[in-house]
Amino acid sequence: RAAGAVAKLIIKEGKSATLKLPSGEVRSISKSCSTTVGQVGNVRVNQKSLGRVGSKCWLGKHPVVKGVVMSPIDHPHGGGEGRAPI
């Protein structure tokens, strides 16, 4: 039940139910699975501005550094003189 998750119930038959996902995929699941009626709330959870770097670090979200700017010890694309293409 991720934030904003939604699916449409198409049919219930026997011990299974058929769902249609937003991608268009049709998936069959067990009828004993628990669900949430409607769309799960907090859709904009990833759009919230955390304000500063420290707040992101507390959540475990660290900066991502490209391999090109690393040293050759740290990444196969690293090193070289200037900015050479990969």
**What span, in angstroms and rounded, lies between the C-alpha atoms of 73 and 53?**
27
Judgement on whether residues 42 and 60 belong to the same structural domain of the protein: no
Tally of structural domains, the chain: 2
pLDDT of residue 26: 97
Judgement on whether residues 38 and 7 belong to the same structural domain of the protein: yes
Judgement on whether residues 44 and 58 belong to the same structural domain of the protein: no
Which of the four pLDDT bands, split at 50, 70 and 90, describes residue 82?
Answer: confident
Average pLDDT of the chain, as a whole number:
88
User: Domain containing 63: what range?
Assistant: 49-86
Judgement on whether residues 33 and 68 belong to the same structural domain of the protein: no
Residue with the larger pLDDT of the pair 20 and 47: 20
* Residue 44 structure tokens: 């904009």
Judgement on whether residues 5 and 15 belong to the same structural domain of the protein: yes
Judgement on whether residues 8 and 25 belong to the same structural domain of the protein: yes
Its pTM stands at 0.49
**CA angle 27–42–25, rounded 5-degree value:** 15
Residues 26, 19 contacting (CB under 8 angstroms): yes
Asked if residue 41 has pLDDT above 80, the reply is: yes
**What span, in angstroms and rounded, lies between the C-alpha atoms of 19 and 15?**
14
**What span, in angstroms and rounded, lies between the C-alpha atoms of 12 and 32?**
11
